[in-house]
A and B are shown apart, each in its own frame.
Chain A
């Protein structure tokens, strides 16, 4: 049963920020509502004011240029990202992740801004975007700021945003030469959330030595987290299967999964190890082929 609320429909970002400033502690923002409406119906979230930004078309865009990289507005739907030619070309891992996010119906209505702000540790976009070194642009009535996605999540369903702030945009730097990212979630039905998920970015130098690695784990801790010990196994090395194996072991150790109805803690750690090994290797193989 959803509790009653006062429904507010701002016509612009500016108006939305004004409403947020006024109702700071008593409001929630809804965009597609694909996650929020479920927790509202379960009574886990109650709010006096619901600010609906779904119609804010000024935040519905995908922009790309070689210098500035990718900018996706908060109200852009998952399906738009999935179908975007420029994303398929420049960030294929992002299009691939979106294609496997929930179901078509959810992707048609749900938005990237809503997904990131909801801060579900099992969400698909956060690990992939973190591996791609993305930042989130947020705003309040006082002004705008950007937060690296890596620092955006502070705890389960908690973000670094202050009351009164709203997600405007996610920004991804331009693709780096000799770099690739791979992502895989482990689940029983493709449209389910991942029991765990791993995104790995590998950047090579001219001699195919690993210059940089970013390994991000989904649903293996209260937030998506970087597996920095696993990364350090790889950085500066000529990559081999033995190193991927070692990186997997490091990631399995440093993650903090819980056991639940879907999988025990032990099983999740095992999966993190296997997926880290496989995704790091997949990213490495792709990166070798990149110019």
Chain B
């Protein structure tokens, strides 16, 4: 097996890694780059714990071949915080207590972030729920998660409101 060179950007830092081409995106992020915020959950494209953004789109890192993100910009949960300041969605999750065990949280945050980028002002709760359809929480924390996303959508965490 011949290792392949993969060049991509993770949280705005460029990386060049040599990997077995069967490496999955979640493995490249966790095992090669060492960012373990992204979780390995079901590994069958069901739970969404491994959700990261590729060029701004939410994808499941357990089902994307790492070689396919060559040249692309990957954002993981570690990349949400900017200059020591949490992203509004992170603050909202804290305020609403939108987690129990926390295992689904990084995936939830990344799906929520991608959803809000596409839909800055969700029209109702159903739209938020549909936007989060690909992420499972097994501690039944959905209501708090929906409230957190709703709060960001309603502008509660805009700079001028803090």
Contacts and interface: CB of A to CB of B under 8 A. Distances in A.
A50 B59 contact: no
Contact of B131 (A3, A104, A109): A104
Interface in B43-95: 43-45, 48, 51, 54, 57-60, 62-65, 67-68
A171 to B, nearest CB: 27
A102 B46 CA distance: 9
B interface: dominant SS = mixed
Contact of B51 (A2, A55, A105): A105
B58 A37 contact: no
Given A4-B20, A5-B22, A191-B134, A105 B2 contact: no
Given A5-B22, A104-B111, A105-B59, 6 more contacts: A4-B22, A5-B21, A33-B68, A103-B135, A109-B63, A191-B134
A66 to B, nearest CB: 31
Nearest to B55: A108
**Chain A interface bracket (under 10, 10 to 19, 20 to 34, 35 or more):** 20 to 34
A106 B4 contact: no
23 contacts: A4-B22, A5-B21, A5-B22, A7-B21, A9-B67, A33-B65, A33-B68, A37-B24, A37-B63, A102-B45, A103-B48, A103-B134, A103-B135, A104-B131, A105-B51, A105-B60, A106-B45, A108-B57, A108-B59, A109-B54, A109-B57, A109-B60, A190-B130
Contacts of B133: 103-104, 189-191
